[in-house]
Amino acid sequence: MLKAAARYEEVLAAFSWQVPQRYNIGIDVCDRQDADALALIHEPEDGSVRRYSFGDIARQSNRLANALLAGGLRAGDRVGILLPQRPETAIAHVACYKAGLIAVPLFTLFGPEALEYRLGNAGCRALVTDTERLPVIEEIRPNLPDLSLVLAADAAKDGGFFRSLSTAMEQASDRFTPLDSAADDPALIIYTSGTTGQPKGALHAHRVLLGHLPGVEFPQEFFPQPGDLFWTPADWAWIGGLIDVLLPSWHHGVPVLSHRMRKFDPEHAFHLIAKHGVRNAFLPPTALKLMRQVENPKGRWDYAMRSIGSGGETLGAELLEWGQETFGLTINEFYGQTECNLVVGNCASILPVRPGAMGRAVPGHDVRIVDDSGNILPAGSVGNVGIRKGDPVMFLEYWRNPEATAAKFAGDFLLTGDQARQDGEGYFWFVGRVDDVITSSGYRIGPAEIEDCLLKHPAIAMAAVIGVPDPLRTEAVKAFLVAKPGVPADAGLAAEIQQFVKTRLAAHEYPRHVEFVDTLPMTATGKIMRRELRAKEIERQDRS
């Protein structure tokens, strides 16, 4: 949707939304494409490789759409998709969109409680999954009265409460007339990561994909270009995998690499990029922090990437520099949230990157710093990141939660729940989630800047910063640190690190308390759950 130009202002001036009245994601990403063109390269865990054309995806999604309707589902019904990166996941999404069913992507990492909450909250009538997950579904099924159809990939034949996905598809026709949906009709419910509390189901319309395009094309340096091949280790159950990578690639007819990593393996990431000639990637900061620990990747693998985007958490100057060395390109940070994604970003070829800044508003999105009532604040002020209503990428509502939906808006703006500052040139600087901002001796401190500084210390692999209750200062800064392997994590190192931050940032920002840990609590999307660290800390103080 973006037209390439030499300057940001020119790209902005040339931009206009192209969102037709009637639009269906399934038709767009599949039926409309060249049937012979390559859509998917799938590498299962055994290292073999399978290729799928758009024609293959069209026929298989037609079969599944027919099977779902034959199973009693009707337009508007919800279908859970509980699968890792594999062809059936993409096929299930396309089938739902074409049939007017609402897709509910679910992480395979979820345990019974997390699954029961989401399947129950969304009222899913069908579930597409695989045999590995059948025991947990069997366990929670009695509590899910709406769930009447379970289709299992890898099942050779039907069982007690489930049907074999392949049998159901074989018995269905490979012809299907997709629903001529309105762009505003509901298409999917994606649950937020649950970093700050109980996850909320964000209901999105078909237009969400068109709304995402500028935010993908910008940080991926005017995606697509000839020869592009997109990959992300992020799960397709997350908006970052599904609508930032898989579906926009297919909208543009660009192939995607799919591979399931049970646990992110940074060496294997380099291997995959080199083996398949991956040109574009979305690599969340957590993945980059692990890849940064791999020694001498340039000497060990032969790769040539064209664009890398990162987002979901602060990228920081340290990873930016590492990206330059390792890939010879600038990792473009972007920012958004499940409810309204990819609205701020970098595009290094036309916007000089400012290390630490998330970038400028992506063309098409009106992003402002506003107060709690939705009034625009002057440049330089810290305030809420607000996105002006009427944006095609904006969600419809929180599923069955009108109170939360109403609370999300103020005046003309959606309030993201994040605090940031916009400088005179329009760059946004992330301060922190409203809940994560630390109040210490009258200062408001964002954890992001301190965490970035901590990562610059050669002994540190991961860092999380929170405020802990302090009688003198309201809150004091505390850092939880994961040391690199082989580094003795002792009092000497703690003191050295405190000094390191003091000399680089302001004196009031250095962590008065430092604790070394083996791991940090993270969501399934790899986000640090600072609220868990805070809760533990308060518990500890109560005990002492």
Subset of residues 335 to 354 that bind Mg ion, contact rule: CB under 5 A: 337
Which CB, 207 or 527, lies closer to ligand ATP? 527
Rounded Cα distance between 342 and 332, Å, is: 12
Binding of ligand ATP at residue 397 (CB under 6 A)? no
Q: Mask: binding to Mg ion, 308-337, rule CB under 5 A, as x and -?
A: -----------------------------x
Rounded Cα distance between 46 and 64, Å, is: 26
Residue selected from 525, 526, 530, 534 as contacting ligand ATP according to rule CB under 6 A: 525
We find the least distance from the C-beta atom of residue 345 to ligand ATP, in angstroms, to be 8
Angle between helices 87-99 and 54-70 (to 10 degrees): 60
Question: Which amino acid appears at position 32 of this protein?
Answer: R
# residues near ligand ATP by CB under 6 A: 23
Rounded Cα distance between 446 and 356, Å, is: 12
Binding of ligand ATP at residue 419 (CB under 6 A)? no
Binding of ligand ATP at residue 384 (CB under 6 A)? no
Binding of ligand ATP at residue 312 (CB under 6 A)? yes
Binding of ligand ATP at residue 335 (CB under 6 A)? yes
**Widest pairwise Cα distance in the chain:** 71
Binding of ligand ATP at residue 401 (CB under 6 A)? no
Binding of ligand ATP at residue 333 (CB under 6 A)? yes
Radius of gyration (Cα) for the chain, nearest Å?
A: 23
Rounded Cα distance between 58 and 40, Å, is: 12
DSSP state of 101: P
Binding of ligand ATP at residue 433 (CB under 6 A)? yes
Binding of ligand ATP at residue 314 (CB under 6 A)? yes
Which segment (185-193, 316-324, 345-353, 456-464) binds Mg ion by CB under 5 A?
185-193
Rounded Cα distance between 518 and 159, Å, is: 42
Which CB, 434 or 459, lies closer to ligand ATP? 434
Task: Name the residue whose CB lies closest to Mg ion.
Answer: 192
Residue selected from 71, 100, 311, 323 as contacting ligand ATP according to rule CB under 6 A: 311
Rounded Cα distance between 412 and 430, Å, is: 22
The two tokens of residue 132 are 């590995």
We find the least distance from the C-beta atom of residue 317 to ligand ATP, in angstroms, to be 13
Q: Mask: binding to Mg ion, 191-210, rule CB under 5 A, as x and -?
A: -x------------------
We find the least distance from the C-beta atom of residue 137 to Mg ion, in angstroms, to be 27
Binding of ligand ATP at residue 346 (CB under 6 A)? no
Residue selected from 26, 87, 199, 224 as contacting ligand ATP according to rule CB under 6 A: 199
Binding of ligand ATP at residue 337 (CB under 6 A)? yes
Rounded Cα distance between 351 and 148, Å, is: 52
Residues 6+ apart with CB under 8 A from 489: 459, 481, 483, 516
Task: Assign residue 368 a region (left: φ > 0; alpha: ψ between -120 and 50; beta: otherwise).
Answer: beta
The two tokens of residue 325 are 């060395």
Rounded Cα distance between 376 and 355, Å, is: 25
Which CB, 153 or 524, lies closer to ligand ATP? 524
**Distance between the two ends of the chain, CA-based, in angstroms?**
58
- Sequence length of the chain is 544
Question: Which amino acid appears at position 85 of this protein?
Answer: Q
We find the least distance from the C-beta atom of residue 104 to ligand ATP, in angstroms, to be 15
Q: Half-sphere exposure of residue 533, counting CA atoms within 13 Å on the CB side?
A: 28
Interacting partner of 525 out of ligand ATP, Mg ion, none (Cβ under 5 to 8 A depending on kind): ligand ATP
Residue selected from 418, 449, 452, 475 as contacting ligand ATP according to rule CB under 6 A: 418
Q: Which residue has the tokens 């990437």?
A: 305
Interacting partner of 33 out of Mg ion, ligand ATP, none (Cβ under 5 to 8 A depending on kind): none
Nearest to 480 by CA among 449, 446, 435, 450: 450
Which CB, 27 or 242, lies closer to Mg ion? 242
Task: Assign residue 253 a region (left: φ > 0; alpha: ψ between -120 and 50; beta: otherwise).
Answer: left
Interacting partner of 62 out of ligand ATP, Mg ion, none (Cβ under 5 to 8 A depending on kind): none
Binding of ligand ATP at residue 447 (CB under 6 A)? no
Residue selected from 62, 193, 405, 440 as contacting ligand ATP according to rule CB under 6 A: 193
Which segment (54-62, 266-274, 311-319, 400-408) binds ligand ATP by CB under 6 A?
311-319
Interacting partner of 220 out of ligand ATP, Mg ion, none (Cβ under 5 to 8 A depending on kind): none
**Residue 37 CB neighbours (<10 A):** 12
Residue selected from 24, 60, 108, 195 as contacting ligand ATP according to rule CB under 6 A: 195
What element of type H or E holds 322? helix 316-327
Residue selected from 398, 430, 480, 500 as contacting ligand ATP according to rule CB under 6 A: 430
# residues near Mg ion by CB under 5 A: 2
Nearest to 394 by CA among 353, 341, 352, 317: 341
Binding of ligand ATP at residue 251 (CB under 6 A)? no
Q: Is 119 exposed, middle or buried (0-12, 13-18, 19+ CB in 10 A)?
A: buried
We find the least distance from the C-beta atom of residue 433 to Mg ion, in angstroms, to be 8
Judged by the rule CB under 5 A, the positions of this chain that interact with Mg ion are 192, 337
Judged by the rule CB under 6 A, the positions of this chain that interact with ligand ATP are 192-197, 199, 311-314, 333, 335, 337-338, 358, 416-418, 430, 433, 525, 527
